[in-house]
Structure 1
Amino acid sequence: MTPLSAAIDPRKNSLNALRLLLAAAVIVSHAPQVAGWRDPYKWGDLEIGGWAVAGFFAISGWLITGSRLRLDMRQFLWNRVVRIYPGYWAALAVTAFVLAPMSLAFDAGASWDPVSALRYVFANATLVEVQQKIQHTLVGAPYDATWNLSLWTLMYEFACYVGVGVLLSFGYARRERWVTLAVFAVLAAGTAVFEFTDADVPGIVGMSFRLGSFFLAGAVLKRYADVIPSVWWLAVAATAVLGVLWATETVKAFAALPLGYLTMYLGARLPLHKVGRRNDISYGVYIYAFPLQQLLAMAGATAWGVVGYIAATLVAVVPFAAASWFLVEKPALRFKDLGRRGPAARPAVAPQAQAPSPADVTMEIPVARP
């Protein structure tokens, strides 16, 4: 049987295509909420966007763990900063100084405050959302709570980067892969406890455990990729388990490993390896979709019905995502080698983690508020 380590070719897989599909799923999930029709679509106890975030975090766990095993901590963190921040900062600026002013044409009674717009960019620059709106905009929007609901997950994503980076800085944890499994078990168990008890924990704690468990599921699969087979019957079993969790509304508590395995199996087997191999617009789709949905809702695109509204969003977001990749994200990647110390030897890694990972040239992102 082919193990996952051999099935997922670092240079020829469908993980980028899956991320693009997951980003599109977020648009579908958010559509009824932004349009003011109803709450986001749900499957079981999780919104469609929540399923997408789980898939994103699992993929990120796989890729980021491989990246950390190959790179020293300084280079690893610099690569992550170069990959996530420039596109994010650009999206904040475009929202504040392009899309928000444009919305005035469709938002009677609204006005645009450049000081508030500038504050929106700088207040949110660290990935922690401090200011969700720009003063006197979204006045007539069906959903007036925020300009970009999707951005909140990025701080959890980056926290996972740092967490795995620190964990694998310890020689014992790097050599003994069961340590990664143990950390995953703690997060998964904590998530289940929070879901099935009335434990009074801050929302940020519960969300950190849940998203962390999905991320660590990908990390565990990466660490054990040489012994976990990539076979159809395990994928079917994982799908069946997810079906049971969906029916019993226990996805949040127990779906991390089966969803992680199914995602990685599809990444290896789907014939979509050419999608996003050279030009990955999935991050741009993610960070621009929600503000464009807001703009389209105020412009009246919701009158076209749910299918028309979603289609309009998909059409509108592609040029923004492409511009983000070609004008911001791809040029920023030229600076990733600035973090290198020199010709020092790379840290020793387990055999299954030595192959180059697309994490150095692609973006690992989360999605959608569960």
Structure 2
Amino acid sequence: MIKDVKLEQYYGFYTNRPFWAISKPDFTNSEIIPKFTSMMSEVIAEYEDTYYKLRFCRDGMILFHSKFPNIAFKHILEYINTLGILMESETHNWMLKKMFNVRELNQGDIFPYTVDNYKVKGVNTSHVNFAILHEYNARFLPFYIPLDYNKVDLQGTFWPNLIKHTISSDPRIKSREGRVLSKELFDNVNSTFSRVVTNYNSVTLLAQITKSVEQFENGRYDIALILSWFIIETYLYKLFQAKVLKSIGQKEDDMSAAELLKILHQRRVLSYELVGDIHKVRILRNKIAHNTFESEVTAQDTLLSFEIIKEFIKQDIGLSLNLKF
């Protein structure tokens, strides 16, 4: 009898700065050579929810499988970018130093995997950009070993040298030095993700934060602030619909952000301090949009917009987002 094969589609990705999951392999042990690839790609933490499956590999690749039927790839990217921002936040709850440099992940950063249980049936790398593919190839010995190694290994010294120097000194391996993330951290990321994933609006907003943070990291404070304002404005309309709309009978799309702020403050939905901060960001956004700003947008201006977003997220879904800059 032929056993039914159920193939599943996973999407693999690396964080912007790589890490070891749970423990670093011992590259001085010659016994790892025959199982090098399986060791690097080993799934050592995995989770399953009503809506997804999540796997963390030894070399830091994260594998995401969506259980939503016929989900578009653009939505897969939103879930993946949400995972990225949650990884950043949770890591900062554990470490004083900055762990990653958050950036938006796109098609060129993603490895589509076809999987039968734990057996990989296929990986599509045709569209993956070179830097990410180079990181992925660190899983495979042929990308370390010279093609003519057998000609120079006359005294049986090549393999020890390979282990101690060729692999251990490779920049892809050295870049993970001191960057080992624990099982408990992955547990917490999954726990938070399982709460967020039930609310698609929260997923899209968290994914959008990566765009703003990436621009901030690149010194584009004006662009970062504009992107942050889109998120802030979305939350303002969301609060208006939930807290005010029924009582006044006026549609929010007839109102400006300034009018929304005034009403939300009058109804005590927002504090005086928060309204003041939002007004500052709103005015800066308008000056940028109309090209009339008198001075450059500063890092502090953009950080203020991030603090507003973090407060809205905390109120909305109870998530304390911890980001370091």
TM-score (norm 1): 0.22
User: Which structure has the higher relative contact order (CA within 8 Å, separation 6+)?
Assistant: 1
Higher helix share: 1
TM-score (norm 2): 0.24
